[in-house]
């Protein structure tokens, strides 16, 4: 599969989607978001892939929507029309498609039945921040910076940040990050739980792959149930969560990979899962 604004790599059961517009700090375009959505669908349908990593080429993860600021300064277009994604958001709204391609990408990451990791260096702004939040885990270099961004251009976050961020860092910090729309340093992001791991830039890929490989020590079917269950539990009661756990274990206890996990422990070897 050939892409223009992203790269999709697969190696050792790990798929990596790379935003590939480094000259624009990986700013988001319509084509990039369409390609991201296509790549996530490809990963979802590939049983050989166990973990998805999302990252950016060059010195930034993603700088948000692609604005042509020179056109604004020269008076060529109205400010909203200078945002490459903004025009399409208005078109979606007029046609009754409330879930834009941005929101669809967030939803696709959340509903992907495989663990996802954002591997972050440099700036993470606007829609890029939303995509990073939509991943299950985030590993960041100490030169990473996070900004919600939308309020600075007179908008509100529309990629799930209003739901995702409070669940990750709590209500008070969410209000601060969104309403001030100031940069949050990597150290502060790690302190408040926005980053799972904080490393030196030259250790970023190594640490991310270490985490990814660690996730593959459990059966794929267990991974799927865990992700679905943890996110589902956010909106359910304790009793409902425990009942769902029992249902999951009823299935897992009869799975081939479940038996393999126990057998491998007994035989003191690495498990060989068959996705069953």
Asked if the structure places residue 202 within a domain, the reply is yes
Asked if the structure places residue 210 within a domain, the reply is yes
Asked if the structure places residue 81 within a domain, the reply is yes
- 250 lies in the same domain as 127: no
Q: Which helix (H) or strand (E) holds 221?
A: helix 220-233
- Out of 215, 236, 258, pick the residue that ends a domain: 215
What gap in Å lies between CA 224 and CA 198, rounded to an integer?
Answer: 26
Q: Using an 8 Å Cβ cutoff, are 259 and 219 in contact?
A: no
- 25 lies in the same domain as 140: yes
Asked if the structure places residue 1 within a domain, the reply is no
SS3 42: helix
- Out of 192, 215, 238, pick the residue that ends a domain: 215
pTM: 0.88
Asked if the structure places residue 275 within a domain, the reply is no
Instruction: At 229, list the tokens.
Output: 């269950």
Which residues neighbour 138 within 8 Å (Cβ) at sequence distance 6 or greater? Answer: 117, 118, 120, 132, 194, 195, 196
pLDDT tens sequence across 45-101: 999 999 999 999 999 999 988 766 555 555 554 555 445 565 555 555 555 444 577
- 200 lies in the same domain as 246: no
- 192 lies in the same domain as 89: yes
Asked if the structure places residue 272 within a domain, the reply is no
- 21 lies in the same domain as 101: yes
- 156 lies in the same domain as 263: no
Whether the per-residue pLDDT at 40 is higher than 90: the answer is yes
pLDDT tens sequence across 186-221: 999 999 999 999 999 999 999 999 999 999 999 999
pLDDT attached to residue 158: 83
- 202 lies in the same domain as 233: no
- 141 lies in the same domain as 260: no
Asked if the structure places residue 274 within a domain, the reply is no
- 43 lies in the same domain as 162: yes
- 239 lies in the same domain as 131: no
Whether the per-residue pLDDT at 29 is higher than 90: the answer is no
- 180 lies in the same domain as 256: no
Domains: count for the chain: 2
pLDDT tens sequence across 136-185: 999 999 999 999 988 887 888 888 899 999 999 999 999 999 999 999 99
Q: Which helix (H) or strand (E) holds 123?
A: strand 123-125
- 80 lies in the same domain as 177: yes
**CA 169, 197, 121, 28 torsion-angle sign:** negative
Domain of residue 123, CATH code:
3.90.226.10
* Angle of the 171-180 helix axis to the 161-169 helix axis, nearest 10: 130
- Out of 179, 199, 215, pick the residue that ends a domain: 215
* Angle of the 101-111 helix axis to the 127-134 helix axis, nearest 10: 20
pLDDT attached to residue 91: 58
Asked if the structure places residue 195 within a domain, the reply is yes
What domain range includes position 246? 220-267
């Amino acid at each position: 599969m050939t892409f223009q604004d992203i790269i999709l790599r697969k190696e050792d059961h790990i798929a990596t989607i790379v935003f590939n517009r480094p000259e624009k700090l990986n700013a988001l375009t319509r084509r990039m978001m369409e390609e991201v959505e296509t790549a996530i669908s490809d990963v979802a349908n590939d049983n050989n892939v166990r973990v998805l990593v999302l990252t950016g080429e060059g010195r930034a993860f993603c700088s948000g929507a692609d604005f042509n600021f020179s056109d604004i300064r020269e008076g060529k277009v109205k400010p909203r029309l200078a945002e490459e994604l903004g025009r399409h958001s208005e078109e979606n709204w007029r046609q009754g498609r409330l879930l834009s391609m941005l929101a669809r990408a967030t939803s696709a990451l959340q509903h992907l039945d495989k663990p996802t990791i954002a591997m972050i260096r440099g700036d993470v702004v606007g829609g890029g921040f939303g995509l990073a939040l939509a991943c299950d885990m985030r590993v960041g270099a100490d030169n990473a910076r996070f900004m919600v961004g939308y309020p600075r251009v007179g908008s509100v976050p529309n990629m799930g940040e209003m739901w995702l961020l409070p669940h990750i860092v709590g209500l008070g910090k969410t209000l601060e990050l969104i309403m001030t729309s100031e940069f949050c340093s990597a150290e502060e992001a790690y302190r408040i739980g926005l980053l799972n791991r904080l490393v030196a830039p030259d250790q970023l890929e190594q640490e991310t792959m270490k985490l990814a490989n660690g996730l593959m020590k459990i059966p794929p079917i267990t991974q799927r149930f865990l992700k679905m269950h943890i996110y589902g539990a956010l909106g359910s009661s304790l009793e409902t969560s425990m009942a769902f756990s029992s249902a999951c274990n009823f299935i897992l206890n009869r799975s081939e990979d479940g038996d393999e996990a126990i057998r491998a422990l007994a035989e003191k070897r690495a498990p060989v899962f068959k996705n069953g």
